[in-house]
Structure 1
Amino acid sequence: MADTAELSVMGATLPPGCAGNRLLAALRPGDLAMLAPHLSPRALTTGQTLFDAGDDVVETVLPCYSTMISLLVITRDGDEIEVASIGREGAIGGIVSAGFKPAYGRAVVRIPGAALGIPTHRLEEAKLRSPALADLFARYADVLLAQMMQSSACNALHSIDQRLCRWLLSTHDRANDATIRLTQETLADMLGVQRTTVTAVAKALQDEGLIRTGRGRIEILDRPRLERRACECHDQVEAHFQRMLPEVQT
């Protein structure tokens, strides 16, 4: 499917990016046409906060292509740790709730790029009109919850090198690029550890030939070995994703 502003489905003009988000691409033509008039292109920047804890979530954002967003839990002392990451396979903000939607955590852009936004109330209206659309987003919400649950277990039980490998694999799945544009400082914040810890682990992985680090980037050189170094959390989340959303390929 070409990804241009002139593309139309069932008479509705689609904004750029629809083909870059796999959740939208999995919709039936009629359901996508129902959402199309309310979708607006977004250019997300690194570090941009989409919503914070307590905010009323009035827009649902669908990352496109390699764009990635982190969902963070913030402690009373201001520390933050990632509990889920959302890329081109999904959406963030107002996925399952209706009415008032106070955010529990903070959504921050980690890898910048294109996205699509839709007023959350428009998405809720579309769900009421289309059981198939509602079912797709409900199944995605299940997958997102599974990722959060697995992340909680991973943070409590697994070593930092296993967690770092898991995160690199998940990001590689979404970005579809061996080079991940991310600083080690940002990665440390997401994993809830000191930057020196991430630097030491990254150096060990680089010495083993699994990755190559540079200024603001991490390049994956040997994915099979990286998979063996990671904990089981990545594979378990991916397996659940494939069971729940076989039509949405990351």
Structure 2
Amino acid sequence: MSVKPQPQPQQNHLLAALSPEVQERLFPYLELVPLPLRAIMYEARRPMRHVYFPTDSIVSLQYVMENGASTAILVVGNEGLLGITLFMGGESTPSRSLVQSAGYAYRLPRPRVKEEFKRHGQLLVLMLRYTQALITQIAQTAVCNRHHSIDQQLCRWLLLSMDRLSHNHLTMTQEFISNMLGVRREGVTQAAHKLQQLGVISYSRGLIKVLDRPRLETLSCECYEVVKKETELLLPYLPQRSVITNADSIPTARLPMQPA
């Protein structure tokens, strides 16, 4: 039985884009940590002690209302980092950070982040550009949640998730996804069923398999393409994503269709 290799810092595209000089300063202080599914990375209004650079995990930032209802406002994966508040002048955030797809991340202590940031060098530039990309994602998510159907929102969410993973396997309940989208669980089930009827996805025993990604992009609203283009413009270090046409090679995502 082969042992899965330990994730390397360069699996995070932002860390990989740093010059060797900056990497030599930061990499000795990076600590690899597991991110279990549904783990809370940051709680609202709590002090933040680290910045996290995901390698093969996805973390969603959710805004939680007083009545407990929540909606995801953005997702973070191997394209960037979690914890922009630390270098934007704050020590906490009004949102909650929840692991959407389990995996690993490298974390960097707050003092090291601020020390490197104050050099006004490469890390500063990359972080500011990444912050602008997140602002675009937040704005487009707000528009999408207000004006587009649950079907379109689910397509957008699946596409954003796949863009940030190499394996693209997601294990989560309908309730979790409904909380992410800020909609009722029944709406998620109906939307997934429609996609299956159209031949875009298939699911059995909680396993969703994307059969036609180009069609999935077509069925999604324009919000996905807006975020994707702006992200690629601001973050030129991201690898080019090729369009997969062979249905057998399309990655999969786990989505239980029955209440957990």
Fold match (TM-score > 0.5): yes
Distance 2:177 2:103 in 1: 18
1:18 aligns with 9
Q: 1:74 aligns with which of 40, 46, 64?
A: 64
Shift of 1:181: 3.1
Whether contact under 8 Å (2:85, 2:91) holds in the other structure is: no
2:150 aligns with 160
Distance 1:84 1:145 in 2: 9
Distance 2:124 2:85 in 1: 10
Distance 2:185 2:124 in 1: 41
Amino acid at match of 2:181: L
Distance 2:88 2:157 in 1: 31
User: What's the CA shift string for 1:158-186, capped at 9, x where partnerless?
Assistant: 11101100011111111133543333321
1:125 aligns with 115
Q: 2:33 aligns with which of 33, 38, 42?
A: 42
1:12 aligns with none
Whether contact under 8 Å (2:72, 2:180) holds in the other structure is: yes
Distance 2:126 2:86 in 1: 11
Distance 2:211 2:138 in 1: 28
Amino acid at match of 2:65: T
Q: 2:141 aligns with which of 140, 151, 163?
A: 151
User: What's the CA shift string for 1:5-40, capped at 9, x where partnerless?
Assistant: 8xxxxxxxxxx4212111111111111111112110
1:137 aligns with 127
Distance 1:211 1:186 in 2: 19
Shift of 1:187: 1.1
Which shifted more, 227-236 or 184-193?
184-193
Cα 1:96/1:244, change in 2 over 3 Å: farther
Amino acid at match of 1:201: A
Superposition pairs for residues 149-188 of structure 1, below 5 Å?
A: 149-177=139-167, 179-188=169-178
Three-state SS of the structure 1 residue aligned to 2:87 is coil
Percentage identity across aligned positions?
35
Whether contact under 8 Å (1:178, 1:220) holds in the other structure is: no
Q: TM-score, normalised by structure 1?
A: 0.89
Q: TM-score, normalised by structure 2?
A: 0.85
Number of corresponding residues: 237
Cα 1:69/1:215, change in 2 over 3 Å: farther
Shift of 1:246: 0.8
Whether contact under 8 Å (1:31, 1:130) holds in the other structure is: no
Three-state SS of the structure 1 residue aligned to 2:93 is coil
Whether contact under 8 Å (1:72, 1:81) holds in the other structure is: yes
Is there any run of 5+ residues in structure 1 with no aligned partner, and where? 6-15
Shift of 1:55: 0.8
2:250 aligns with none
Three-state SS of the structure 1 residue aligned to 2:32 is strand
Whether contact under 8 Å (1:172, 1:180) holds in the other structure is: no
Three-state SS of the structure 2 residue aligned to 1:175 is coil
User: What's the CA shift string for 1:198-240, capped at 9, x where partnerless?
Assistant: 0111011011111122444422111011111000011001111
Whether contact under 8 Å (1:64, 1:88) holds in the other structure is: yes
Shift of 1:138: 0.8
Shift of 1:100: 4.4
> Is residue 2:26 matched to residue 1:31?
no
Cα RMSD after superposing both structures: 1.9
Whether contact under 8 Å (2:85, 2:93) holds in the other structure is: no
Distance 2:178 2:23 in 1: 38
Amino acid at match of 2:185: R
Cα 1:35/1:42, change in 2 over 3 Å: same
